[in-house]
Structure 1
Amino acid sequence: MADDKNIGTKIKSIRESKQITVEELAERSQLSTEQINNIENDMNVPSLAPLIKIARALGVRLGTFLDDDENLGPAVSRKNEAVETIHTSNAEEKTVKHNNFFTLAPQKSGRSMEPFFIEINAIDDGTLEMSAHEGEEFIYVLEGTLKVIYGKETYILNEGDSIYYDSIVSHLVCAADEKGAKIIATVYAPA
């Protein structure tokens, strides 16, 4: 991932271009100034929830942090051309790279959904935290076994299974065993 593609760098650039202080962004996104500083300086690996809150607070799509293209037509992603764009973590230790995201439509501007191929690394789910944010998510399991905790329910999904849920409910997506998992996920976050 090139330096100019770092999410923290992009967030800082957008924030500064809109003349918003770290403190104002923290207030608008309901995150701490420390979280904002750590994300902007690439000191921690954020989960998807704070990124969505930051995007909303800045008035941009989540995809703005992932791409630069202005293609209004269809976006085709080839198997061998996938580029890793983001690492996230739901772990208490925010330097853990729990998920590796590969965006599937970086060249499509103005999109309302964010489609990803995600490699979910095996990690002790006792160290993971639930998250919640506006929007919806759809997940299809390509490989491995996935554990999805949604509110008070736990779902075990195997290859070929899928789940669609409202992201406002506290949820956690992780590998169900030490083998990890590979999924296709589409995230919709209203602007």
Structure 2
Amino acid sequence: MAAKHTPGERIAELRKTYSITRETLAERSGLNVELIRRIEEDGHIPDLAPLVKIARALGVRLGTLLDDHEELGPVITKAGSAETAERFVTGQPSEVKDNGSRPHGLSFKALAADKGGRHMEPFIVDIEPDAEQVKSTHEGEEFIYVLSGKLSLEYGMNTYELSPGDTVYYDSIVPHRVLAAGGAPARIVAVIYTPM
């Protein structure tokens, strides 16, 4: 199977390879058929949770939906090169605000996209202060290291404020979301582990 460039294109290719309809994938993943159509055709990614659920329903690891090609040895990301490795942006609703602007989202820059067989997904994530992100829940665990700015983590019923140098490790099955706090952007390293 030839490598594709977006998660939506990879999902469509895997569905075709496995002879799975969107309706069947929606049933297996617990997602709406329209959401799957938007991911495949429009490149829409509201957050990582749907990708995790789709990967599980297809019987592949999350990295399969994000990879360009697979490297069996170590994958090194040199300083500054993550800036060109943006995989997707979440938290960008299609509607335009009253002032004509679109809210920014969370920009995920892959740090090990080419590593074959991985179960962790490390990213540098830039979070704009006006990002509109819904809480998500999915299998696995997450580790976050705050590089800059202030981060607000909503986890279950609690909210935690983190500053540069702070870390947090949590179970992803609990509803959660991260937001920039204090009216300024935040930058984090996020490592998402999803069991296969």
Question: Under a length normalisation based on structure 1, what TM-score does the superposition of the two structures give?
Answer: 0.91
Alignment of 1:33-44 (within 5 A): 33-42=33-42, 44=44
For 1:133, the equivalent position in structure 2 comes to 138
Quote the residue 1:60 is aligned against: 60
Distance 1:65 1:106 in 2: 10
1:10-25 equivalences in 2 (<5 Å): 10-25=10-25
* Aligned residue identity for 2:181: A
Task: Structure 2: give runs of 5+ residues left out of the alignment.
Answer: 96-102
Counterpart code for 1:104? L
Aligned to 2:72: 72
Per-residue CA deviation, residues 114-170 of structure 1 (Å, 9 max, x unaligned), is: 01011111126xx53211111000000000000000011100000000100000001
| 5+ residue gaps, structure 1 | none
Residues 45, 94 of structure 1: 8 Å contact kept: no
- Determine helix, strand or coil for the equivalent of 1:5: coil
The sequence identity of aligned pairs, in percent, is 49
2-structure distance, mates of 1:116, 1:153: 24
Shift of 1:106: 1.5
TM value normalised by structure 2 = 0.88
Q: Does 1:149 align with 2:151?
A: no
Aligned residue identity for 1:99: L
**Of 119, 123, 129, which aligns to 1:122?**
129
Residues 136 and 177 in structure 2, CA contact (< 8 A), matched pair in contact too: yes
Rounded Cα–Cα distance in structure 1 between residues aligned with 2:11 and 2:27:
15
Question: Deviations along 1:42-67, whole A, 9 cap, x unmatched?
Answer: 25332111110001001111111211
Q: Distance in 2 between matches of 1:165 and 1:119?
A: 20
Does the CA contact (< 8 Å) of 1:11 and 1:40 recur in 2? yes
For residues 146 and 107 of structure 1, the distance between their equivalents in structure 2, rounded to whole angstroms, comes to 28
> 1:114–1:188: 8 Å Cα contact kept in structure 2?
yes
- One-letter amino acid of the counterpart of residue 115, structure 1: P
Match of 1:163 among 164, 168, 182: 168
CA distances 1:71-95 after superposition (whole Å, capped 9, x unpaired): 1111111123221112122x6x357
Deviation at residue 190 of structure 1 after TM alignment = 1.2
Which deviates the most, 169-178 or 132-141?
A: 169-178
Corresponding residue SS for 2:64: helix
CA RMSD in angstroms comes to 1.8
